[in-house]
Amino acid sequence: MISPVLGMPVSRCLASCLAILFTASAAAFQPAAGYEGQHDSRPGRTAPVTLPATGTVQAAFTPGDDIGKLIADAIDAAQHQVLVQAFSFTHRKIADALIAAGRRGVDVKVISDKDQIHRIQTSLISKMAADGVPVFTDSAHDSAHNKVIVIDAGSPGATLITGSFNFTHAAQYKNAENVLVIKGNTALTDLYRKNWQHHYEHSRPYR
């Protein structure tokens, strides 16, 4: 049978169409530049980093686990430095732990999403700033949505805290959230410290 449109046998026409389809589909699934360990030449892009799994990992979830206490205890154990990236911040126990750490001589700094400070009436950013914690706002993005705490990077006691858990009472008592507390993985903690520093460089002092 001849195709009335292409003027060739239908079987040959079908084979040609399938060849084009499979070629296009294969191209669509090729990895973008910068993946599979290759350098990404696009400005500001680097390949994802793969690091060895070392140290210990503690996982916690809400509802059920007291993540606020878990984070506060980690801050209480800090010896030298606590660097925070927060989207919203209303959890008093965590705020009090940061204030106390600063008062005992630990270098504490907080980067927060600028809009959330003003949108949430119960935000504790102003309280922490008033109690001596250096606070900075990151408005270079639609949302400064990282939830990260880097403790004592570069030391044997290096600790990284990250996950979906906002530092809020809603995250503790109303939401389904998770957090990882990673201890002893100095390379991973240092990677997050460098990312914190990257955002710190374009942040502005609160007030």
Look at the block and give the residue holding tokens 């801050």: 75
Q: Please name which of 184, 108, 111 lies closest in space to residue 146, comparing C-alpha atoms.
A: 111
Q: What are the residue numbers of the active site?
A: 145, 147, 152
Query: What single string gives the DSSP state of each residue in the chain?
Result: -B-TTTSSBHHHHHHHHHHHHHHHHHHHTSPPTT-TTPPP-STT--PPP-----SEEEEEEETTS-HHHHHHHHHHT-SSEEEEEES-B--HHHHHHHHHHHHTT-EEEEEEEHHHHHH-TT--HHHHHHTT--EEEE-SSS-----EEEESTTSTT-EEEEES--BSHHHHHTS-EEEEEEES-HHHHHHHHHHHHHHHTT-EE--
